[in-house]
């Protein structure tokens, strides 16, 4: 029956008007919606007033060729003959009136480029646009669910317009959460265009957390709509207590692809919502969740319940609402000897036949488990294609007339037959060309790894999942259900097709599982229990949880709590079969919380007092703020004292955050060649494990090794390198934090060396640090190094003309390069010794010191920001001869421009050989550190002769000294006469000798040139005159000097008079 038989003349006019007002794609979507056939129950709606069980509603209304068991009389894998019969019977009637856009205030007309909302949007219209109820929408891909989110944003804007018509303040914010950065970028661009006429600010906040997150907070302040990922929003909301007023402006949370709850990353989303509901005003924050695949959406609705009801409003739409219907075929094959590689090879030879049956000349996308499998499958397809072609048979697709040029030799050969490869190992230019040619119809078959399903949008008529297991970390693992559903969602092109085909090739053992999955019978489950400890630690650190009872209450607000009641068998690993006992699962839930808290206390991340109060420790704060996995943090805590750079590098490369980096087939040889290079400082003993690969790639990048020279079709290291640097950055920073907590300066300094090297992608002690300057590349660095210019400081002292001569460049290139080198902060260290406390060897010598940290090149041209516009920071580390930490401070470089910062310390020195070292470095830049050593200038007999605790302790000035002393032990620094007599006694010279720099005695040795920088502008004669004047005024006060006290002072102290 034709489409026109179901429509009236008035409806046809509406459809024509809609076509003229919108794009062809949107029109085609609406036509597919309107072509629906009657169905008894196609739509189910639950709200807070009417709660009924809806689990499996989608499954009851879904019919596909693969839903019935395999017919044993047919060849294995063949679907029944009536595979597509449901197309004519499963469409619902187009009986729901379409809501016109004019139902909204006219000011919002520009947001929706059509005249009527489609059926899904129309049925959600009242709840989304005219209420504050939480809403869950479960509908197939392509049904216009994004429009429901836009209606919710409009409702928020309209409420503000009515309540604050004159206000321009951005005091109501919507947060959009999507699982991938690609989806976030796409949504941000779309909404920036749609909402621009309303002056609505849409900000995308994705990527890695900057050092201070200041830029992200500014974006949040100036945004009406924030587009971000759950992981990024997790990192930001961990600062909730620092900005409660700002986060209190959140009024709307939009959750896209809520089926993310089912995978390991889903625990972050689950915790986020629970956190916002506990920290925020639950009465003012509205939650809208949409999903293409949520068979138990009622459980999501129960989790997102409104504050005054037991469930959120639920709208469910089955497969018949999909604009392009998808036929699903599951082909089981016999697995022999349980060999996954052999089974994958078997599927390669079955692939061509399946495409011949289902492809129908339309484009196809094939997903394979490994890159090697991608290449083998593509070559086997071409072999079969050429064989059929040579015999004069009909081929599933035509040979393209256009012959594209690719860099990859295998890709170039395959493309002649309309087949292409696509995975992260292919050159980026080749990948883009494949995508363009596939969309234009030149390439007819793309064979890809499963990662393509989560990234680039390549719609096609037919998709094939060739094998449901993938190879990772040396083992084969079953694909996640979310990945499978995302791949299936690629089938069918709304612009060109009225139907799509999805083919799953698996083994007999998993046939029933995938049949249940595609029929919508598999419910979403929580993943929170898999990493409960790290999330619990974060909430305790945020003070969301303060007691064990509060932890249990927090868990009751989670999706885990909803599902564990309905399907305790799924969580038997944590319930320990408690579900077999009446009420056992709830009692076991208390034990789960108790065990998690106990484990956190065991590793000193959390403290618990007798009253049951839970407090986060310094270690817990580090793990929370740096978002480090519990498994990784336990490895960091096991780092030995004073660990070397090599040892820290091994810990970093073994981090759980890098477990997705695998050793692939064909990579051992090129990695072995890189390992053999002299540039690899710490070569692994063998190249067998993923951790060895991570170490070699990281070191090669830091050494400036040209990885392009080792690249091949089997080895493309750049994608892995990006992941390595992103994760290594955070882990290294966490190691520094643990070193501070342990007061181990060796760990702090060595981890700092690694951290700065990773931040600048260059070993800090190599000339490669010069590439931190724009316009300085590897060729220029080699030339500079040959001339002894191997650091930023040396480059800053060069003549611009000499630089141009070396590099064969024209002015003003030299001036620009030298100016850039001079713009890096040049730190200064000053040590002002206030006085020494001496006890004739009875006790350690104690020095009362004032450290002065500044920058020598403060000015408008000094760099205070990174390339990503985050602030530069200076870290000050003070340690003793035993590598014990005396002091650690961190300050913004910008603050040092206002003037030097002082630090007061009172270290102890138990022997004449004991020294104290001070290091100042820039966290975000390599090669800028300054180091200074200090020893007290006291006679050997003033130090204890026996072994005394040789530990330097830092004592706050307001806290009182740990060594008793009387006023007789002290010298008044303002008493010039007393100081002169002291100098005569211990130096043996007159006044002129005491203050002449060239004749300065040994006690002035510690005052290096840096310590004098702040007094270079003072005149020596003026200083002496001040001392003489002070001597006359205070002569009566100077009657006694302790002969056992040595007084050392710097030029700054000379001015105290």
Q: Is 636 contained in some domain?
A: no
- For the chain, helix (H) and strand (E) counts, in that order, are 39, 26
DSSP string, 727-762: HHHHHHHHHHHHHHHHTBHHHHHHHHHHHHHHHHTS
User: Does residue 974 have a pLDDT over 70?
Assistant: no
pLDDT tens sequence across 908-935: 998 888 999 999 999 999 999 999 999 9
Instruction: Select from 82, 79, 63 the least CA-distant residue to 71.
Output: 79
Picking from 943, 965, 987, the residue at the C-terminal end of a domain is 965
Q: Are residues 513 and 483 in the same domain?
A: yes
Which range, 85-94, 352-361, 795-804, 866-875, is most confident? 795-804
Q: Is 1028 contained in some domain?
A: yes
Q: Is 365 contained in some domain?
A: yes
769-774, Cβ contacts within 8 angstroms, sequence gap of 24 or more:
769/926, 769/927, 770/795, 771/704, 772/824, 772/925, 772/926, 772/927, 773/817, 773/820, 773/821, 774/820
Q: Are residues 868 and 805 in the same domain?
A: no
Separation CA 856–CA 823 (nearest Å): 11
User: Residue 311 — pLDDT band, cuts 50, 70, 90?
Assistant: confident
Least confident of 49-63, 450-464, 498-512, 700-714: 49-63
User: Does residue 973 have a pLDDT over 80?
Assistant: no
Q: Are residues 438 and 355 in the same domain?
A: yes
Q: Is 190 contained in some domain?
A: yes
Alpha helices (runs of H) in 144-259, residue ranges in sequence order: 145-163, 181-194, 214-221, 230-237, 244-247
Query: For residue 863, which phi and psi values (nearest 5 degrees)?
Result: -75, 125
399-402, Cβ contacts within 8 angstroms, sequence gap of 24 or more:
400/442, 400/443, 400/444, 402/437, 402/442
Instruction: State mean pLDDT over 171-187.
Output: 89
Q: How many residues does the chain have?
A: 1057
Q: Are residues 796 and 860 in the same domain?
A: no
Q: What is the mean pLDDT of the chain?
A: 78
Which pLDDT belongs to residue 13?
35
Least confident of 84-93, 256-265, 686-695: 84-93
User: Does residue 1008 have a pLDDT over 50?
Assistant: no
942 CB-near residues (< 8 Å, 6+ apart): 838, 839, 840, 841, 845, 1044, 1046
Q: Are residues 981 and 941 in the same domain?
A: no
User: Residue 584 — pLDDT band, cuts 50, 70, 90?
Assistant: low
Q: Are residues 98 and 240 in the same domain?
A: yes
Q: Are residues 448 and 552 in the same domain?
A: no
pLDDT tens sequence across 881-907: 888 999 999 999 999 988 999 999 999
User: Residue 854 — pLDDT band, cuts 50, 70, 90?
Assistant: very high
Which pLDDT belongs to residue 83?
31
Instruction: Select from 208, 192, 183, 195 the least CA-distant residue to 151.
Output: 195
Q: Which helix (H) or strand (E) holds 316?
A: strand 313-317
Report yes or no: 686 and 668 within 8 Å, Cβ to Cβ.
no
Instruction: Select from 296, 333, 354 the least CA-distant residue to 59.
Output: 296
Picking from 518, 549, 574, the residue at the C-terminal end of a domain is 518
The burial class, CB within 10 Å (0-12 / 13-18 / 19+), for 1015 is middle
Q: How many domains does the chain have?
A: 6
Q: Is 685 contained in some domain?
A: yes
85 CB-near residues (< 8 Å, 6+ apart): none
Separation CA 582–CA 488 (nearest Å): 41
The burial class, CB within 10 Å (0-12 / 13-18 / 19+), for 158 is middle
988 CB-near residues (< 8 Å, 6+ apart): none
User: Residue 453 — pLDDT band, cuts 50, 70, 90?
Assistant: low
Which pLDDT belongs to residue 226?
95
Region of 871 (left: φ > 0; alpha: ψ -120 to 50; beta: rest) is beta
Separation CA 696–CA 699 (nearest Å): 5
**Which residues partner with 851 through β-bridges?**
831, 903
User: Does residue 780 have a pLDDT over 90?
Assistant: yes
Q: What is the CATH number of the domain that holds 187?
A: 3.40.50.300
Q: Are residues 802 and 894 in the same domain?
A: no
Instruction: Select from 542, 548, 480, 569 the least CA-distant residue to 266.
Output: 480
Is the model more confident about 1030 or about 936?
936
Q: Is 17 contained in some domain?
A: no
Query: For residue 336, which phi and psi values (nearest 5 degrees)?
Result: -110, 140
Which pLDDT belongs to residue 989?
36
Q: Are residues 126 and 169 in the same domain?
A: yes
DSSP string, 469-508: EEEETTEEEEPPHHHHHHHHTTB--TTT-SEEEEEEEEEG
User: Does residue 743 have a pLDDT over 90?
Assistant: yes
Q: Are residues 486 and 507 in the same domain?
A: yes
Instruction: State mean pLDDT over 854-876.
Output: 88
User: Does residue 549 have a pLDDT over 70?
Assistant: yes
Q: What is the CATH number of the domain that holds 838?
A: 2.60.40.150
What's the domain range around 995?
968-1057
Separation CA 592–CA 573 (nearest Å): 11
DSSP string, 549-606: HHHHHHHHTSHHHHHHHH-GGGGHHHHTTGGGSTTHHHHHHHHHHHHHHHHHHHTTSE
Q: What is the CATH number of the domain that holds 718?
A: 1.10.3380.10
CA Rg, the chain, in Å? 35
Q: Is 7 contained in some domain?
A: no
User: Residue 456 — pLDDT band, cuts 50, 70, 90?
Assistant: low
Picking from 493, 518, 543, the residue at the C-terminal end of a domain is 518
Q: Is 16 contained in some domain?
A: no
Report the b/e string of 274-310 with b at 16+ CB within 10 A.
bbbbbbbeeeebbbbbbbbbbbbbbbbbbbbbbeeee
Report yes or no: 547 and 612 within 8 Å, Cβ to Cβ.
yes
User: Does residue 387 have a pLDDT over 80?
Assistant: yes
Q: Are residues 415 and 449 in the same domain?
A: yes
Q: Are residues 58 and 167 in the same domain?
A: yes
Separation CA 112–CA 104 (nearest Å): 10
Which pLDDT belongs to residue 879?
96
Q: What is the CATH number of the domain that holds 564?
A: 1.10.10.10
Report yes or no: 826 and 855 within 8 Å, Cβ to Cβ.
yes
- The owner of tokens 């995978």 is 263
């Amino acid at each position: 029956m034709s489409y026109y038989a179901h429509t009236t003349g008035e409806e046809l006019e509406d459809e024509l008007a809609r076509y003229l007002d919108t794009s062809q794609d949107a029109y085609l979507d609406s036509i597919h919606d309107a072509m629906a056939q009657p169905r008894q129950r196609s739509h189910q709606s639950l709200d807070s007033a009417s709660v009924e069980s809806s689990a499996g509603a989608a499954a009851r209304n879904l019919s596909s060729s693969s839903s019935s068991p395999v017919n044993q009389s047919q060849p294995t894998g063949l679907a029944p003959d009536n595979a597509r019969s449901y197309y004519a019977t499963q469409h619902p009637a187009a009986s729901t009136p379409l809501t016109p856009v004019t139902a909204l205030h006219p000011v919002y007309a520009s947001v929706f480029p059509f005249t009527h909302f489609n059926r899904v949007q129309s049925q959600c219209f009242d709840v989304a646009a005219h209420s504050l109820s939480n809403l869950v929408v479960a509908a197939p891909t392509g049904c216009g669910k994004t429009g429901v989110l836009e209606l919710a944003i409009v409702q928020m804007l309209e409420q503000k317009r009515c309540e604050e018509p004159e206000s321009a303040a951005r005091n109501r914010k919507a947060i959009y959460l999507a699982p991938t950065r690609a989806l976030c970028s796409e949504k941000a661009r779309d909404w920036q265009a749609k909402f621009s006429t309303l002056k609505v600010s849409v900000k995308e906040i994705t990527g890695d957390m900057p050092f201070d997150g200041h830029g992200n907070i500014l974006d949040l302040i100036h945004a009406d709509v924030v587009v971000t990922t759950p992981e990024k929003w997790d990192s930001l909301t961990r600062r909730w207590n620092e900005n409660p007023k700002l986060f209190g402006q959140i009024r709307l949370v939009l959750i896209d692809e809520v089926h993310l709850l089912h995978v390991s990353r889903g625990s972050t989303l689950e915790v986020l919502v629970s956190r916002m509901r506990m920290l925020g005003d639950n009465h003012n924050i509205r939650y809208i969740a949409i999903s293409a695949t949520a068979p138990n959406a009622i459980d999501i609705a129960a989790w997102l319940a409104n504050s005054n009801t037991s469930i959120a409003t639920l709208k469910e739409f089955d497969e018949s609402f999909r604009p392009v219907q998808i036929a699903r075929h599951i082909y089981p094959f016999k697995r022999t000897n349980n060999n996954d590689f052999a089974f994958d090879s078997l599927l390669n030879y079955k692939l061509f036949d399946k495409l011949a049956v289902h492809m129908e000349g339309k484009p196809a996308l094939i997903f394979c488990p490994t890159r090697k499998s991608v290449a083998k499958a593509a070559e086997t397809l071409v072999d079969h294609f050429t064989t059929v072609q040579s015999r004069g048979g009909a081929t599933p697709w035509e040979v393209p007339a256009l012959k594209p040029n690719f860099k990859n030799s295998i890709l170039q050969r395959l493309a002649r037959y309309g087949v292409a490869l696509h995975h992260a190992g292919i050159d980026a230019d080749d990948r883009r060309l494949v995508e363009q040619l596939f969309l234009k119809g030149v390439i007819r078959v793309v064979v890809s790894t499963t990662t393509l399903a989560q990234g680039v949008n390549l719609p096609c008529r037919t998709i094939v999942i060739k094998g449901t297991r993938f190879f990772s970390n040396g083992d084969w693992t079953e694909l996640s259900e979310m990945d499978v559903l995302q791949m299936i969602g690629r089938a069918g092109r709304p612009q060109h097709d009225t139907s799509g085909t999805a083919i799953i090739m698996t083994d007999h053992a998993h046939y029933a599982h995938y049949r249940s999955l595609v029929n919508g019978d598999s419910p979403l489950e929580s993943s929170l229990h898999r990493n409960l400890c790290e999330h619990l630690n974060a909430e305790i650190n945020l003070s969301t949880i303060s007691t064990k009872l509060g932890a249990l209450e927090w868990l009751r607000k989670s999706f885990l709590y909803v599902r564990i009641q309905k399907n305790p068998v799924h969580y038997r690993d944590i319930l320990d079969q408690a579900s077999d006992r009446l009420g056992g699962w709830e009692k076991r839930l208390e034990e789960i919380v108790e065990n998690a808290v106990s484990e956190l206390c065991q590793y000193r991340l959390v403290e618990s007092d007798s009253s049951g109060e839970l407090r986060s420790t310094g270690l817990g704060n580090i793990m929370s703020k740096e978002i480090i996995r519990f498994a990784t943090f336990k490895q960091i805590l096991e780092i030995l004292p004073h660990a070397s750079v090599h040892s820290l590098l091994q810990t970093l490369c073994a981090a759980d955050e890098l477990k997705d980096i695998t050793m692939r087939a064909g990579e051992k040889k090129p990695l072995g060649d890189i390992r053999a290079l002299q540039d690899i400082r710490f070569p692994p003993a063998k190249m067998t494990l993923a951790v060895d690969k991570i170490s070699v790639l990281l070191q090669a990048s830091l050494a400036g090794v040209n990885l392009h020279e080792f690249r091949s079709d089997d080895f493309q290291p750049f994608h892995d390198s990006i992941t390595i640097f992103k994760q290594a950055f955070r882990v290294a920073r966490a190691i520094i934090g643990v070193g501070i907590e342990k007061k181990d300066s060796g760990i702090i300094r060595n981890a700092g060396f690694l951290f700065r090297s990773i931040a600048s992608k260059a070993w800090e002690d190599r000339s490669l640090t010069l590439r931190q300057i724009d316009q300085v590349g590897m060729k220029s660095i080699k030339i500079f190094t040959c001339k002894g210019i191997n650091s930023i400081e040396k480059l800053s002292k060069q003549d611009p003309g000499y630089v141009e001569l070396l590099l064969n460049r024209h002015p003003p290139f030299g001036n620009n390069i030298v100016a850039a080198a001079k713009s890096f902060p040049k730190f200064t260290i000053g040590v002002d010794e206030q006085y020494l406390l001496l006890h004739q060897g009875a006790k350690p010598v104690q020095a009362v010191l004032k450290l002065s940290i500044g920058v020598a090149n403060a000015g408008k041209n000094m760099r205070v920001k990174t390339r990503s516009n985050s602030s530069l920071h200076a870290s000050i580390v003070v340690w003793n001869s035993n590598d014990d930490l005396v002091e650690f401070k961190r300050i913004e470089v910008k603050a040092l421009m206002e003037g030097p910062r002082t630090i007061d310390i009172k270290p102890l020195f138990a022997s004449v050989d004991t020294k104290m070292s001070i290091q100042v470095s820039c966290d975000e830049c390599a090669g800028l550190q300054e180091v200074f050593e200090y020893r007290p200038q006291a006679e050997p007999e003033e130090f204890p002769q026996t072994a005394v605790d040789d530990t330097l302790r830092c004592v706050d000035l307001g806290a009182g000294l740990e060594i008793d002393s009387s006023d007789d032990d002290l010298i008044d620094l303002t008493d010039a006469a007393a100081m002169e007599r002291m100098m005569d006694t211990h130096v043996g010279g007159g006044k002129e000798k005491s203050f002449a720099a060239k004749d300065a005695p040994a006690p002035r040795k510690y005052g290096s040139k840096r310590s004098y920088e702040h007094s270079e502008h003072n005149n020596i004669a003026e200083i002496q005159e001040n001392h003489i004047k002070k001597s006359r005024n205070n002569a009566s006060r100077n009657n006694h000097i302790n002969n056992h006290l040595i007084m050392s002072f710097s030029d700054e102290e000379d001015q105290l008079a």
